[in-house]
Structure 1
Amino acid sequence: MEVRAVSRNIRVSPYKVRLVVNEIKKMQPGDAVKMLNFTQQAASKPLKKVVMSAIANAKNNNNLNENSLTFKEIQIGHGLTFKRYRPISRGRVHDIKKITSHIRVVLEGKEAESKKVEEKKEDTKKLEAKKGKENGTKG
């Protein structure tokens, strides 16, 4: 069972996010969250939020056990680029590009063993129309 969580336009460049992702992609998601608490990179906080969101989706929506989850993929892509300008001499400007990134986390896990409720099929008997004077029919 796959579970996804996406965060878009994070105000950290994709290169910097990938540095942190390379550290956690071989771990289990629960251990990755613990490690991201102590990582001092700027990308660790938004990445931790996305991983925690994916874990919560797995628990609440699909009834998966947190310990059985693994990372299937973590994609880091380019987001929007905010363009700002800085004036310099002789009436010119230099542009400042503020790069953002998209984070997509896909978790994979085994379904929790839920108790299967056996549905009891009720015997459906075809009701026959009663015939006779007391029931208002001829016969």
Structure 2
Amino acid sequence: MSKEKTPRALKDNEAKAVARMLRISPQKLNLLAQLIRGKKVERALAELEFSRKRAAFDVRKTLESAIANAENNHSLEVDDLVVAEAFVGKALVMKRFSPRARGRSGKIQKPFSHLTIVLREVAVAAQA
């Protein structure tokens, strides 16, 4: 008697990739998530490649992982994939202290983030 398999959380035409503990603030990472949300995969990859933001490398890597998951694990067609969801969550915040004048200390916060990208296969309209 083995444990029953848990049902799949995503639909059959979706694939997901998650990047955890990225050393960037959620606010900055969310700017890139907004940039790719709702776009075709090849367009999103192109925009991330030419983005000047530091986190673009991590977002691109996560998007490529989601594409590989869709292709290899779920047998989805890469050309029909769209970024259905791209959202950012807060992770832990490392707290550090910096010495200030008169024996006081200043608080330094170093936030971490989680990034989740969900791809959906969209059926191409019937071409005449």
Q: How would you bin the TM-score normalised by the shorter chain?
A: 0.7 to 0.9
Question: Over residues 34-90 of structure 1, what are the superposed CA-to-partner deviations in whole Å (9 max), with x where a residue is unaligned?
Answer: 211110012211110110000000011111111111122111111110111101122
Q: Which residue of 2 aligns with 1:71?
A: 83
What are the within-5 Å matches in structure 2 for residues 54-133 of structure 1? 54-109=66-121
Aligned to 1:9: 21
Which structure is richer in relative contact order (CA contacts within 8 A, separation 6 or more)? 2
Correspondence for 1:37:
49
Matched residue count? 111
Normalised by the length of structure 2, the TM-score is 0.81
Asked if the contact 1:72/1:107 (under 8 Å) is kept, the reply is yes
Contact between 2:33 and 2:87, CA under 8 Å: does it hold in 1? no
Q: Report if aligned partners of 1:12, 1:42 keep a CA contact under 8 Å in 2.
A: no
Moved over 3 A (4+): none
The root-mean-square deviation of aligned C-alpha atoms, in Å, is 1.5
- Identical aligned residues as a percent: 36
3-state SS in 1 of match to 2:53: coil
Counterpart amino acid of residue 80 in structure 2: S
Which residues of structure 1 form unaligned runs of 5+? Answer: 112-139
Q: Give me the whole-angstrom Cα distance separating, in 2, the residues matched to 1:66 and 1:31.
A: 12
Amino acid at match of 1:80: L
Q: Which secondary structure does the structure 2 equivalent of 1:26 belong to? A: coil
SS in 2 for 1:83: strand
More displaced stretch, 32-41 vs 19-28: 19-28
Kindly indicate whether the alpha-carbon contact (under 8 Å) linking 1:28 and 1:69 is maintained by their aligned counterparts in 2: yes
| Structure 2 runs not aligned, ≥5 long | 1-12, 124-128
